[in-house]
């Protein structure tokens, strides 16, 4: 029997799933919820106390998939960690950054959920597995192997992202993690297992979107350049909120390629934060991961650090483009603080290029327009004088691509995860209409699904 239990968020954030295969306990991902702070952002690890816990397998290094890993290991130090080599390298940057964030969020400044020293030890203990190499997991309670085979498949989402393939007694399970099956600016699309699977654990971030709602990358890049040139030629500057890992690298590469082709005005580009450190890891792995151009180096792009500017006023002295995190413009982050200055500039613009959670400031800003009044906190109502433009450069598969995954893998059962309620419901409804023989489950928090 296989038991599945969601111990993280029912929707997007704090991805963390427990799966018990023949008595072997495996945790798939271990993230924090970016919409919450401190202890509230973590999965419910208490439910694991009376369950076997042998492995934690990390699909990729975004905070909502890896941010709670140090706390899990602190509570259960015997658990073995597995990830791709690239995720291991990125985890060192991401997890140290999360320590700094938690220091600000926990009321007692003398208390740490985990420390930088503990993160260093965790990174050293991480085991890595290259794409499409097979290992057999070992049981903690026996000297013999558990019979569970593990493979990683390139998920095409960010550097090092992996779909997780498990096989036991001829039963095959595939967890997509966050997956993108078509090319981005840097990364190729995902690779899937060639064989049919019995259970598919499918992310549904864009499960409610049609193919018409998400244009092809190159077409959207052309529209981006057209709109950007209008702002820049008028003397304005453009703020682009991005995730420091993944989105910053893809959008930075796109902007530079547009400039090289003379499709976009050649202006100063500003980046900062941990995104700058991540550029180097992308470059170091360019020959050992699938890329659209393996010779291209992100660090060859001329950029300046926005943290070295004396004040945000410097960005408006001449036309420029600023890529700043967080991608959802969470309060007290660079993108949020910069936006407060952009609102006052009628020649400038904020370009939204990624997913915005409905509960974040970024969602409110992305659904506003020039001339609107916006309330971002209880004290201030602000007038938006800049332009707000929305673009779609997804690092997740749209509904058509998700359906194609189902078609290729032919699962008997599907568990829908990592999507807002509307996305989960819509993609589930479409799958049932097309494949009535498939049994579909939603991952309700802390409820076992017996398979």
pLDDT over threshold 60, residue 111: no
Same domain, 194 and 292: no
Domain CATH number, residue 12: 3.60.15.10
Residue range 273-300: mean pLDDT, rounded: 95
* Selected residue with higher pLDDT from 108 and 5: 5
pLDDT tens digits, 358-408: 889 999 999 999 999 999 877 778 999 999 999 999 999 999 999 999 999
Same domain, 296 and 438: no
Average of per-residue pLDDT values in the chain:
93
- Which domain, by its residues, includes 340? 215-390
Same domain, 302 and 204: no
Range among 97-101, 107-111, 248-252 with highest mean pLDDT value? 248-252
- The DSSP code for 49 is T
Same domain, 319 and 446: no
Share of the chain above pLDDT 90, in %: 81
Same domain, 176 and 82: yes
Same domain, 267 and 309: yes
**E strand residue ranges, 140-181:** 145-154, 162-168, 171-175
Share of the chain above pLDDT 70, in %: 96
Residue range 235-262: mean pLDDT, rounded: 98
Same domain, 239 and 173: no
pLDDT band (50, 70, 90) for residue 451: confident
17-22: long-range contacts, CB 8 A cutoff, minimum separation 24? 17/175, 17/201, 17/417, 17/443, 18/47, 18/48, 18/51, 19/166, 19/173, 20/51, 20/52, 21/146, 21/148, 21/166, 21/168, 21/173, 22/146, 22/147, 22/148, 22/168, 22/169
Same domain, 219 and 134: no
- Adjacent-strand bridge partners of 28: 17, 57
Same domain, 285 and 202: no
Residue range 158-164: mean pLDDT, rounded: 98
Same domain, 245 and 348: yes
pLDDT band (50, 70, 90) for residue 109: low
Beta carbons of 290 and 239 less than 8 angstroms apart: no
pLDDT tens digits, 416-450: 999 999 999 999 999 999 989 999 999 998 889 99
Q: Tally the residues of the chain.
A: 451
* Selected residue with higher pLDDT from 335 and 358: 335
pLDDT over threshold 90, residue 143: no
Domain CATH number, residue 377: 3.40.50.10890
pLDDT band (50, 70, 90) for residue 160: very high
Residue range 215-225: mean pLDDT, rounded: 95
pLDDT over threshold 80, residue 145: no
pLDDT band (50, 70, 90) for residue 209: confident
- Which of these three, 390, 422, 442, is where a domain ends? 390
- Which of these three, 367, 390, 413, is where a domain ends? 390
* Selected residue with higher pLDDT from 97 and 165: 165
Same domain, 172 and 251: no
pLDDT band (50, 70, 90) for residue 230: very high
- Total number of domains in the chain: 2
Same domain, 195 and 343: no
């Amino acid at each position: 029997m296989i038991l599945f239990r969601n111990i993280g968020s029912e929707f997007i954030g704090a991805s963390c799933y427990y799966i018990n295969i023949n008595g072997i306990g495996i945790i798939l991902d271990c993230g924090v919820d970016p919409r919450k702070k401190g202890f509230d952002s973590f999965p419910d690890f208490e439910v694991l106390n009376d369950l076997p816990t042998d492995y934690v397998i990390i699909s990729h290094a975004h905070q909502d998939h890896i941010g709670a890993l140090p706390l899990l290991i602190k509570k259960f130090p015997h658990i073995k960690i597995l990830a791709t080599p690239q995720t291991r390298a990125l985890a060192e940057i991401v997890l140290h950054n999360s320590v700094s964030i938690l220091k600000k969020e926990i009321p007692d400044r003398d208390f740490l959920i985990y420390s930088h020293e503990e993160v260093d030890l965790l990174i050293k203990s991480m085991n890595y597995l290259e794409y499409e190499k097979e290992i057999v997991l070992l049981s903690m309670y026996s000297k013999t192997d558990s019979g569970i085979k593990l493979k990683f498949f390139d998920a095409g989402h960010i550097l090092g992202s992996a779909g997780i393939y498990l096989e036991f007694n001829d039963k095959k399970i595939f967890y997509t993690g966050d997956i993108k099956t078509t090319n981005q600016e840097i990364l190729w699309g995902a690779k899937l297992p060639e064989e049919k699977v019995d259970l598919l654990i499918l992310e549904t971030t864009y499960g409610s979107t049609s193919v018409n709602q998400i244009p092809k990358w190159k077409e959207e890049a052309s529209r981006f350049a057209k709109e950007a040139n209008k702002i820049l030629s008028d003397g304005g500057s453009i703020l682009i909120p991005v995730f420091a890992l993944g989105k910053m690298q893809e959008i930075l590469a796109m902007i530079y390629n547009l400039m090289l082709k003379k499709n976009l005005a050649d202006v100063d580009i500003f980046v900062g934060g941990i995104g700058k450190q991540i550029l180097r890891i992308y470059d170091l792995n360019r020959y050992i991961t699938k890329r659209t151009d393996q010779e291209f180096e992100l660090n060859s792009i001329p950029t300046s650090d926005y943290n070295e500017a004396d004040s945000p006023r410097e960005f408006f002295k001449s036309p420029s483009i600023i890529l700043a995190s967080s991608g959802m413009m969470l309060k007290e982050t660079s993108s949020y603080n910069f936006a407060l200055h952009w609102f006052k500039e009628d020649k400038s613009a904020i370009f939204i290029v990624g997913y915005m959670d409905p509960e974040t400031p970024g969602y409110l800003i992305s659904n506003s327009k020039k001339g609107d009044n916006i309330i971002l906190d209880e004290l201030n109502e602000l007038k938006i004088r800049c332009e707000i433009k929305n673009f779609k450069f997804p690092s997740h598969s749209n509904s058509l691509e998700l359906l194609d995954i189902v078609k290729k893998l032919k699962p008997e059962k599907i568990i829908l995860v990592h999507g807002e309620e509307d996305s989960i419901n819509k993609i589930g409804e479409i799958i049932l209409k097309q494949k009535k023989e498939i049994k579909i489950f939603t991952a309700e928090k802390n409820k076992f699904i017996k398979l």
